[in-house]
Structure 1
Amino acid sequence: MTKITLIATAPMGLEAIVSREVKNLGYTDVRVDNGRIEFDADPTAIARCNLWLRTADRVQVKMGEFKATTFEELFEGVKALNWPDWISQDAEFPVDGKSQKSQLSSVPACQSIVKKAVVEKLKEAYHVDWFDERGPLYRIQVSLLKDIATITLDTSGVGLHKRGYRQLSAQAPIKETLAAALVDLSRWGPHRPFIDPFCGSGTIPIEAAMIGRNIAPGLNRDFTAQHWPMVPQRAWDLARQEARDLAKFDLPLEIIGSDIDAEVLSLANYHIQKAKLGDAIKLKNLPVARMKFDQPYGVIVSNPPYGERLGELKDVERAYKELGNLTRLNDTLSVFVLTSNERFEHTYGKKADKKRKLFNGRIECNLYQYLGKLPPRKPRETTEQQETLS
């Protein structure tokens, strides 16, 4: 089957996680750059990557890349690409664009040139002068960086953070992709308790449950490329069947989400039920000061309020202090807190073992990591006996 180049776009700071996800799907020729991970695969990878990538923003087909300092170079470079192999005669093909540090700085002009070039190529292929554009959607993007034009086709449609379970919004929600990245960075596994003491509308506990049960994040949504002849329906059917076969829908999990706001917890409960994870996540309406963190080898992952609103800072920092006082009583507990509050370590009462800069939307944050003792490993002999019995 024909090899193509795919790009998994990644939020700043998460490139290494997205790269690891791509490799875990079996794609080995991986190149990492700022904000994107490139890899070569056959077209069926479009289905598998859209279904499985938890922390990527979207999956794109890289149609071509070339230098373009003039509109003529841009036009000829785009026209030389193999558009008829992908875009059908009845297709809709809008063009998006962006430009940074490039001579071709007018994005609307670049979009217009790309559109004209694609139309000319398709006219030659289909021997028509007009395209109704009422068929499948092929969203083209022209991205110019330092005079290099990268031309892509978006396969995802709406961003991959849209899993399908979150239909109601709480104040300042965290994206599902970032929530999944926080769980990934915590190295939590389904054999350990998981707690989010500031769970809000439930995104972090839901993403943890999906990871714990190995549920593909895109299993219950649609993608633009499902309607493309280049990716046959059988590829999507096989990818979804693979995802269902690998999921552990009934695996017992100990996941707790808590919040002081009863109203936002009702949203969390709605989202949990929508994700069909009601048996995996327990919700509590408690302030941090009334919680107990006595679970052995538990993992806390949370995105608490940052205290950026007027009058909120004192309450937020008090909650940070209470969290620190309680978690220090359990040296097997690992704590991962994402916040933009630069006084977090001071109010929590302890310097983090590790810090990692991440962005929650446009807000620059730190992930403060406190590493507790790890669970004891099972003796090799016991593990081998269990494997023999199974």
Structure 2
Amino acid sequence: MALDIPDELLDWRAKGFWLPAGEVTTRDFAAARHRLFDGSFTWPLLVVRDSAVRANIATMAGYAQRYDFSFAPHAKTTMAPTLLAAQLEAGAWALTVATASQALVLRRLGVPRVLIANQVLDPTALGWLAAEAARGWEVIVQVDSVAGVEAVAAAGGLPVLVELGHAGGRTGCRTVAEVVAVARAAAAAPGISLLGVTAYEGALPDVATVDAFLVTLVEAARAVAGLLDDEVLVSAGGSAWFDRVVKALEGQWLDRRRVRAVLRSGASVTHDDGFYRERTPFNREPADGRLDPALEMWAQVLSTPEPGLAVVGMGKRDAPFDEGLPVTDGLTVTKMNDHHTYVTGGSPAVGELLRFGLSHPCTAFDKWRFIPVADDADVVVDVLHTYF
């Protein structure tokens, strides 16, 4: 679907774009068909590959449709309106966010349905969400305590999902009994519409632990189903275990009520060359599809001060490092500073441009306000702008 995407202004403040004088809109810059290496950019530079993004969006849309899941990809991965619009156009049922501020961005862009996969307790934010819901916007929040239910009700009420968590995890009730108690409070609270249950399995370490947790999620859904009408919404799914979520939630397994299973995998839109390359469910189920890394960083060798060592002009301010260091063919990244990366092996020359693959897209996008999208011939076909 079409979103209300602003045409932002590029000028000297746009990192990576070489615009020492003058200004140009993102649309006009893309229309000019600049090339990555024609002098329009400086280094380091984060680039999104158009063909990989398009393929990944189509893959996940087809996957969700094949297993009869509603897809609500997590927008916090990119917070880039163009990519969010592409996911909606491919059939996404909703978009997911982590904070009220992110929900505000999506509301202003015109996203019709938003899940907030987190607890919202700020009365100012809750009041705004409730007011927007009263105007017809579909926004769903999570609760994991009676206090959370009371906060939502005090703000005017919203549709809610009760969150199940796990020991050592983040938010979420730790037992089915707690889920039921919170669900009963929500069902009885004025202005609140109880829709179902939700969970996040992405931080769990292995298939057996994930499967056991999802069995508990199904148990929780069965336990609260009597408090709902015709449909029970059950939501889960990071980008590492969505195959197990599909296996656990697929089909109509509730008596007298329809299950709407909602998958929230967000990092799939760009995939990566590290964390998700190793953990994607398509490694376990290759017949179901594949994802291609769509993010790359171009950076220049600044110095070769010692034998076997190259220092590259890219650092923690530019590239993610929380789930693994960047990678580049034939070389090894050993560490990063704020603006420098240490590379060993091979013999890169001073001034040479190196292409790096990145690990963890969620902490790549938030470092860049503007990102060129390039086709396979290195022609810039779009410019993403991010709202973090």
- Structure with larger RCO (C-alpha < 8 A, sep 6+): 2
Q: What is the TM-score normalised by the length of structure 2? A: 0.26
Structure possessing the higher radius of gyration over alpha carbons: 1
Normalising by structure 1, report the TM-score: 0.26
